[in-house]
Amino acid sequence: MSEAVPRLTVVIPVHNGSAFLQQGLAAMAASGVRPFELIVVDDGSTDDSAAVAERHGARVLRTTKQAGPAHARNLGARSAQGDVLFFLDADVCVHSDTIGLVTDAFSDPSLDALIGSYDDNPAEPDFLSQYKNLMHCFVHHTAQSEACTFWSGCGAIRRDVFFEYSGFDESYNRPAIEDIELGYRLAEAGKRMVLDRNVQVKHLKHWSFWGLLKTDILDRGIPWTELILRDKRMPNDLNIQLSQRVSVALVYVLTLFGMLCSIYWRGYFLTPLFALVFFFLGRYWLDGAAQRSKAVLLAMFGTGLAIVALAWSHHMRAIIPLVVLTFPALLVRHRYELRHGPRATLLKVLTFVYFVVALGIIARYLPRHPLAFPAALILLAVLVLNSQFYIFLAEKRGRWFALAAIPFHLLYHFYNGVSFAVGLARHTWRLAFHRPVVEATSDHGQR
């Protein structure tokens, strides 16, 4: 059963994001299907975001001061004339078929809301940006088609349904989980939401290490935990599915065993452990060096020096030349990674053999003791639970990229546990003292 083609209003909030907005609106102009209406809400920008939007034919609404993405999207929605509201972040580019796919989907009268995903080709080439955006792509592409929540980075909803449930909660006055919170209310009411993997956008954001931690912990993890506790609802989907919760628990058990091993063997255990992590992070070190990132270079050389000192003091001398030669080997591999021919193939094979031999030598120094055995089994269990993600990364960006992602993914599970603990504490505190949720202000449209 179908109905008349719905009119689609695109709503984009922006705060000081003119460079991203320029690319996003240019992509929309080149789209195979144009939306019925384009609204850009300038949320207190001090750059030329409004002028960029006007040049691309958007209707521009302005706030008197920065009020946050929930308020900006609600403002755009109230002004919209379309039947369907299609929310996009300022730092995404639609594909040529994105608008058409969304419009066609809402020809089905039973559909209340739809979300898409990032594509598997993020704009920023550095390791962290590729890793984070590919993780989002993987999570959405392996999630259930019947969505359990909403996503405003690339999400559409019928205008009457949006206002029936009061839109986004404006107490979230920074880019946090205002979209997930709306999705929870829609799911509770039995509204039909779909995750369409064919509806894709390209994410333009550059991720820094500290920016990644801030977003995942403060903007997502802690408030999402509070939302789960508020609504007593934790669906087995997206990045809170059961395998991810088990991974968090296992990473904490692994951390405990690692601490016990470190206390028992001290530097004798830490030396090969740090060396393994150093090798796994090879792709991350290489990207940091290519960008001349002082923080990454200092971390790389500092970690390398610490490993050399530990290896010298604990008579693990074979590790020292491996660490020293790692970066030249990575540079050689990187130089010929995209080349073809006998010489390139030979160098790729030699660097692969070098890393396999290096990992084998380092592994020989790991303690053979019953205390270390459970730690190895737990690590293996975590890797198996998340193996599909690592395989996905290897298919998209190669084996060394996938290896470099493992330490960051373990860290991700670790700070998800921290987020849950803090969220639980905050929720308990508010229940005890009846305090409302208040979020601090921050930039948005570049989640």
> Are both 201 and 247 inside the same structural domain?
no
Last residue of a domain, one of 207, 234, 260: 207
In terms of C-beta density within 10 A (0-12 exposed, 13-18 middle, 19 or more buried), how is residue 99 classed?
A: buried
> Are both 267 and 164 inside the same structural domain?
no
pTM (predicted TM-score): 0.88
Q: Which DSSP helix (H) or strand (E) runs through 248?
A: helix 242-265
Q: How far apart are CA 175 and CA 220, in angstroms?
A: 9
Pairing of strands 59-62, 37-42: parallel
Q: Is the dihedral of CA 408, 409, 412, 414 positive or negative?
A: negative
Three-class DSSP category at 42? strand
Beta bridge partners of 203: 92
Q: What is the CATH number of the domain that holds 203?
A: 3.90.550.10
> Are both 195 and 272 inside the same structural domain?
no
416 inside domain? yes
Query: How would you list the strands of the sheet with 37-42, edge to edge?
Result: 59-62, 37-42, 8-14, 84-88, 154-158, 113-118, 193-203, 92-94
Q: What's the structural domain count of the chain?
A: 2
> Are both 181 and 257 inside the same structural domain?
no
Beta bridge partners of 150: none
> Are both 194 and 295 inside the same structural domain?
no
Annotate 370-438 with DSSP letters as a single string: TTHHHHHHHHHHHHHHTHHHHHHHHHHH-HHHHHHHHHHHHHHHHHHHHHHHHHHHHHHHHHHHTPPP-
Task: Report the first-to-last Cα separation within the chain, whole angstroms.
Answer: 36
Q: Which residue shows structure tokens 């704009």? A: 123
> Are both 201 and 249 inside the same structural domain?
no
Tokens of 37: 């209406």
Pairing of strands 113-118, 154-158: antiparallel
440 inside domain? no
3 inside domain? no
Neighbours of 213 (CB within 10 A): 15
260 inside domain? yes
* pLDDT computed for residue 2 by the predictor: 46
Tokens of 368: 């053979």
13 inside domain? yes
Cα 320 to chain centroid distance, Å, stands at: 35
230 inside domain? no
> Are both 135 and 259 inside the same structural domain?
no
> Are both 166 and 284 inside the same structural domain?
no
> Are both 203 and 252 inside the same structural domain?
no
* pLDDT computed for residue 139 by the predictor: 94
Phi-psi region of 57 (alpha: psi -120 to 50; beta: other; left: phi over 0): left
Give helix then strand counts, H and E, for the chain: 18, 8
> Are both 196 and 91 inside the same structural domain?
yes
> Are both 202 and 312 inside the same structural domain?
no
Long-range contacts made by residues 230-233, C-beta under 8 angstroms, separation at least 24? Answer: 230/427, 231/184, 231/188, 233/184, 233/187, 233/188
2 inside domain? no
In terms of C-beta density within 10 A (0-12 exposed, 13-18 middle, 19 or more buried), how is residue 113 classed?
A: buried
* pLDDT computed for residue 333 by the predictor: 63
> Are both 297 and 383 inside the same structural domain?
yes
Q: Do 426 and 226 contact (CB within 8 A), yes or no? A: yes
Q: Do 14 and 90 contact (CB within 8 A), yes or no? A: yes
Q: Going by C-beta distance under 8 Å and a sequence separation of 6 or more, which residues neighbour residue 295? A: 209, 288
* pLDDT computed for residue 283 by the predictor: 76
pLDDT in tens, the chain (447 residues): 446 789 999 999 999 999 999 999 999 999 888 899 999 999 999 999 999 999 999 999 999 899 999 999 999 999 999 999 999 999 999 999 999 999 999 999 999 999 999 999 999 988 999 999 999 999 999 999 999 999 999 999 999 999 999 999 999 988 889 999 999 999 999 999 999 999 999 999 999 899 999 999 999 999 999 999 988 888 877 778 889 999 999 999 999 988 888 888 888 888 988 988 888 887 787 777 667 677 887 888 888 899 999 999 988 989 998 888 877 766 666 666 555 667 767 776 777 777 788 888 888 888 777 777 888 889 999 999 999 999 999 999 888 889 889 999 999 999 999 999 999 999 998 888 765 544 433 344 444
- What domain range includes position 402? 242-422
Q: Which amino acid, one-letter code, is at 208?
A: S
437 inside domain? no
